[in-house]
Amino acid sequence: NAEQQALKEKEKGSWTQLSHAEKVALYRLQFHETFAEMNRRSNEWKTVMGGVFFFFGFTALLIWWQRVYVFPKKPVTLTDEWKAQQLQRILDM
């Protein structure tokens, strides 16, 4: 870039002759970011948390679907009525 080359030539001279904007432009040519810009927080955590919650929700839906449509019904031996009758049979022995 012609502007950048001219600024680089001007840099070789006295820095007191450079304006503030030219000094900032030279800094940007060398470093691209200020220290504050380099250390600012990113918003990547929002994307990560969104992905985590999406997969939690998907997993919950998958578990619900399996309980409703895949897993067999509970056996009759687990009902309270059956357990009470079983206890009565044991006590009657």
Domain ranges of the chain: 2-39, 44-92
Q: pTM score, two decimals? A: 0.50
pLDDT per residue as tens digits for the range 11-61: 999 989 999 999 999 999 989 888 999 899 999 999 999 999 999 999 999
**2 exposure class (CB count in 10 Å sphere: 0-12, 13-18, 19+):** exposed
pLDDT at 19: 94
Provide φ and ψ at 18, rounded to 5°. Answer: -80, 140
Closest to 22 measured CA to CA, from 14, 85, 36: 14
pLDDT at 1: 86
